[in-house]
């Protein structure tokens, strides 16, 4: 994925999609989140379980281990990096859901600049992205090195551009299982590796070039400037 997304609904709307009866500890507030053009390093509302309680906290998008020689900050990861590498080992047990409204991909279609596309669910429901991270837990205060990464599939590419890697989006049922601390590691790996929502669940369309500048804000960035495409076929709003 191209490192830009929207998270503009209120946290209660996102939580309602999960259909979880758990008590909620909400540190992000009940107002609309208003993030239409969120870039890496932006604090975003992240959902995770602590015991039987669901928590909603603002956590920075992107994470790397304290003291890592590589100073880059990944914003996403693949399941094989978790299963066969040490980089994310410390945060693998800390499963979370990033609820968003849409994300963006840029595609070269000729000309001087790539064309941005907005991707959302066809039913306009919130998008539940499988994530892992380091975040406040056990009553501790947020730390400067807190952060999270989003899973992308091992083998499937993007939608608009097959060379991009889209987020692993879970159904509400699988999102609840992913968040459940009792879900075994093998099952969690299976969920992110093979059980993400199919391309048919999404639609996409061109938006204006203004989305490429992180200083640009507001709902106007989401305006369609081309026909809606569903599974490779043009549709209607």
Q: HSE (CB half, 13 Å, CA atoms) of 100? A: 29
* Residue 105 a catalytic site member: yes
* Residue 2 a catalytic site member: yes
The region, left, alpha or beta by phi > 0 then psi within -120 to 50, assigned to residue 19 is left
Structure tokens at 110: 């000729």
φ and ψ of 149, to 5 deg: -130, 155
Neighbours of 9 (CB within 10 A): 19
Residue with tokens 């075994």: 184
Rounded Cα gap, residues 175 and 17, in angstroms: 10
Secondary structure of 97-125 in HEC code, one letter for each residue: EEEECEEEEEECCCCCCCEEEEEEECCCC
Rounded Cα gap, residues 24 and 12, in angstroms: 10
Residues facing residue 119 across a β-bridge: 103, 204
Catalytically annotated residue among 52, 105, 129, 203 = 105
Rounded Cα gap, residues 80 and 65, in angstroms: 18
Catalytically annotated residue among 2, 50, 109, 173 = 2
Catalytic residues: 2, 105
């Amino acid at each position: 994925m191209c490192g830009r997304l929207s998270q503009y609904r209120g946290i209660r709307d996102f939580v309602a999609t999960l259909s979880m009866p758990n008590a909620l500890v909400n540190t992000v507030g009940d107002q609309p989140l208003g993030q239409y053009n969120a870039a890496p390093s932006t604090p975003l509302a992240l959902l995770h379980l602590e015991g039987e309680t669901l928590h909603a906290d603002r956590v920075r998008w992107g994470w790397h281990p304290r003291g890592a020689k590589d100073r880059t900050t990944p914003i996403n990861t693949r399941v094989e990096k978790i299963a066969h590498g040490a980089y994310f080992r410390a945060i693998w047990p800390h499963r979370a859901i990033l609820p968003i409204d849409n994300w963006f991909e840029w595609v070269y279609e000729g000309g001087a600049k790539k064309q941005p596309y907005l991707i959302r669910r066809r039913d306009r429901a919130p998008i539940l992205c499988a994530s892992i991270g380091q975040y406040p837990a056990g009553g501790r205060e947020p730390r400067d090195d807190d952060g999270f990464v989003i899973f992308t599939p091992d083998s499937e590419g993007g939608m608009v551009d097959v060379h991009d890697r889209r987020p692993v989006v879970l159904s509400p049922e699988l999102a609840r299982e992913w968040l459940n601390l009792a879900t075994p590691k093998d099952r969690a790996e299976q969920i992110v590796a093979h059980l993400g929502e199919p391309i048919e669940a999404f639609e996409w369309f061109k938006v204006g070039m203004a989305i490429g500048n992180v200083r640009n804000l507001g709902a106007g960035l989401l305006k369609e400037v081309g026909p809606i495409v569903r599974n490779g076929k043009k549709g209607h709003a």
